[in-house]
Amino acid sequence: MSEKKHRVSRRQFLTYTLTGVGGFMAAGMLAPMVRMALDPALEAGGDSEFVSIGLSEADLTEEPQRVDFSVELEDGWYTSEQSRSAWVFLNEGEVMALSPVCTHLGCTVDWNTSPENQDQFFCPCHFGRFERDGTNVPGTPPTRPLDVYDVEVRDGMIYLGQINQR
């Protein structure tokens, strides 16, 4: 073949380049849509997935115990790890997992740290209090209960899902 046949004209070069770039951009836009169509559970950024917290139901008592764990969040192509915490315990025989984030202004509540108010969650920021099931104590700053995690027990192990307001 002559060298002339191998040459790419300016028009051909631009056509190839623009087609390539356009195809790449279209794939970038279509891939997340296809993924969500195939798996609606991923639509909320992976937040609706359940993750193991490394505790079994047999490890629990009625005394809330704090568990720290991490969840993987996906946003388009980007995946990140986010730390989460929960107070986990048995409430009337059922596994309950509460968010430790105070519903007043977002400080972190602790269990049983106010000597005058035994068996309650206590927020040191403005002395907010919650009953063991997360109900806010009237007359203290929080006006709604602690948020609650979706809970699943699989083969005796505890998995937590999304956090819900009540």
> Which residues here bind ligand FES, judged by CB under 6 A?
102, 104-107, 123, 125-126, 128, 141-142
In the complex with ligand FES, which residue's Cβ is closer, 126 or 166? 126
Residue 103 Cβ vs ligand FES, minimum distance, rounded to whole Å: 8
The rounded distance, in Å, linking the Cα atoms of 95 and 12 is: 65
In the complex with ligand FES, which residue's Cβ is closer, 35 or 126? 126
In the complex with ligand FES, which residue's Cβ is closer, 71 or 104? 104
Q: Answer for the pair 155, 58: CB distance below 8 angstroms, yes or no.
A: no
In the complex with ligand FES, which residue's Cβ is closer, 86 or 95? 86
Residue 123 Cβ vs ligand FES, minimum distance, rounded to whole Å: 3
Residue 66 Cβ vs ligand FES, minimum distance, rounded to whole Å: 16
Residue 65 Cβ vs ligand FES, minimum distance, rounded to whole Å: 21
Report the residue closest to ligand FES, judged by CB: 128
Count how many residues are written for the chain.
166
CA dist list (Å): 131 to 70, 71, 116, 122, 134 = 26, 27, 14, 9, 5
Q: Which two tokens stand for residue 17?
A: 């380049």
Q: Answer for the pair 53, 69: CB distance below 8 angstroms, yes or no.
A: yes
User: Which helix (H) or strand (E) is 35 found in, with range?
Assistant: helix 10-38
